[in-house]
Amino acid sequence: MAQVTVTIDGKAYRMACEEGQEDHLSALAARFDQYVGHLRGQFGEIGDLRLTVMAGIMVMDELSEVEKRLKSFEAEVDDLKQGRQAALSDHMRSEEAVASALSEVTAQIHMIVARLSGRPTPAN
């Protein structure tokens, strides 16, 4: 396990993390420190524990909003996938109809060519 020292509200905290996650942990701590600093600027000295709890709640509120947006985007992607599947299905039916029509026209052309060349046709 790797060790990282992070600073939040002017206090250093030594933390363990997975190898290779040191920079990520430091960045998360720096972001959290911004929340604490913002709250300290708004409310002044109201106690370290209260500031930390308030900052944690702010982070959880933002996380909740991001989760709502993610669910909305996932639903939108599902709708788009369903629309795409329906469009593909419609397209396939259209292609089958065109192929069937072309097959009928081709058969009729063969019959006309056979009549014009004097060959017997299945209808004669």
pLDDT for the residue 60: 94
Phi, psi of 122 (to 5 degrees): -60, -25
Does 10 fall in a domain?
yes
Does 51 fall in a domain?
yes
Neighbours of 46 (CB within 10 A): 12
Does 121 fall in a domain?
no
Domain residues for the domain of 57 are 2-116
pTM score, whole prediction: 0.59
Residue bearing tokens 């996650």: 21
Residues 6+ apart with CB under 8 A from 8: 29, 32, 33, 36, 52
Assess contact for 69 and 58: CB atoms under 8 A.
no
Structural domain count, the chain: 1
Percent of the chain with pLDDT over 70: 96
pLDDT for the residue 17: 93
pLDDT tens-digit map of 3-29: 999 999 999 999 999 999 999 999 999
